[in-house]
Amino acid sequence: MKQAHIVVRAAIAVTLLSSLAVPALAVTQGSLTLSGFSYTLKDLNAADGLAPTLNWTESYLYASASDSRQSGWTLSGSELSSDWQYSGENVQYSQSASVNVSSPLGFAGGSASVDGHAPSVLSIGTDLMAGTTGSAVINSTHVFTLTANTQVTLGFDVSGALVGSGNTSGWMPSLYGASTYEQQSSLNYTARLGVDGAGVNFIGDASSWWTDAANPYEVILDGQRLQVTFSNKGTTTREYTLDVSLLLYGTDVAAPVPEPATYALMILGLVAIGGAAKRRRG
């Protein structure tokens, strides 16, 4: 009987480690955009005779995107985890008007542009099918000067969406005796706006589990404003650095789809158990 149980457990292991046939059933899509950049100036000391002024002097853009394909599953005790094959990362740097990058497999990408040396529009996105991951990062850095006794408020409009399907495969990790396992679909994002290292973050996420067969998610970002306010309270014009960044990471895990030979091995194990039980009764 013990040997028969070992056969069945081996069959399950082969099922998990067999080639992953990934159906393009699930859909996980994320997007995040910063646009409508503007700033306002306030004179903190009208008596000094200085008009509040901000001048943009330099800008630097960075964009990267990477992705992976799922290669299978691993069962360790009661913990079930997915295995991935990293496809690589594409990166762009620029001090010119824009950057635009796409991941090697095309599951993620991002772009950014400038207006002179002032920030303009930053956008990132992922478009995933079952068995893929994708991530994108945009950094936009801008150097500017600000006159003495001047307060400035800088901001962007935030828009985007996080959309993921529920478990459409009907497969459940509990079929393999797993009590610990990953989310089926997930998206995480961060938008940051800061000056000289101090700033604000806009962070969020959305996800669905394997048990969420009829519970897809949809999060719409609209009408949000990301802004930061600071002051030059000194007596001379000073130089500052504005940092703007976007990060989006998504995963859509595929259920194992065993091949016919694997099903045959599992059936063989069940037959072995039945035979052993019959001999014991005899």
What digits encode the pLDDT tens for the residues 155-193? 999 999 999 887 777 777 777 777 877 888 899 999 999
**Alpha helix ranges (H) inside the chain:** 2-17, 260-281
Contact indicator for 258, 171 with CB cutoff of 8 Å: no
- One domain, residues 112 and 201: yes
- One domain, residues 282 and 179: no
Query: Residue 223 gets which letter from DSSP?
Result: E
- pTM for the structure as a whole: 0.82
Query: How many domains is the chain partitioned into structurally?
Result: 2
- One domain, residues 264 and 179: no
Q: Which of 10-14, 195-199, 263-267 holds the top average pLDDT?
A: 195-199
- One domain, residues 178 and 262: no
Q: How far apart are CA 212 and CA 170, in angstroms?
A: 10
The first and second tokens of residue 118, run together, are 């002032």
- One domain, residues 154 and 263: no
Mean pLDDT in residue range 63-89: 92
* List of residues 6+ apart from 202 with CB closer than 8 A: 158, 190, 191, 192, 224, 226
- One domain, residues 189 and 278: no
Please write the tens of the pLDDT for every residue from 90-119: 999 998 789 999 999 999 999 999 998 999
The first and second tokens of residue 201, run together, are 């973050």
The first and second tokens of residue 155, run together, are 């901001």
Q: Decide which of 213 and 139 is more confident.
A: 139
Mean pLDDT in residue range 217-242: 92
Q: Decide which of 220 and 279 is more confident.
A: 220
- One domain, residues 199 and 267: no
The owner of tokens 């950049």 is 37
- One domain, residues 172 and 278: no
- One domain, residues 268 and 243: no
Q: How far apart are CA 200 and CA 203, in angstroms?
A: 10
DSSP 3-state assignment of 11?
helix
- One domain, residues 148 and 86: yes
- Could you tell me the pLDDT band of residue 265, with boundaries at 50, 70 and 90? very low
* Domain span including residue 10: 1-18+258-282
Q: How far apart are CA 272 and CA 267, in angstroms?
A: 9
- Could you tell me the pLDDT band of residue 263, with boundaries at 50, 70 and 90? very low
- Could you tell me the pLDDT band of residue 18, with boundaries at 50, 70 and 90? very low
- One domain, residues 12 and 100: no
The pLDDT value recorded for residue 107 is 97
- One domain, residues 42 and 121: yes
Q: Is the pLDDT of residue 277 over 60?
A: no
Query: Residue 169 gets which letter from DSSP?
Result: S
Q: pLDDT averaged over the chain?
A: 84
The pLDDT value recorded for residue 247 is 97
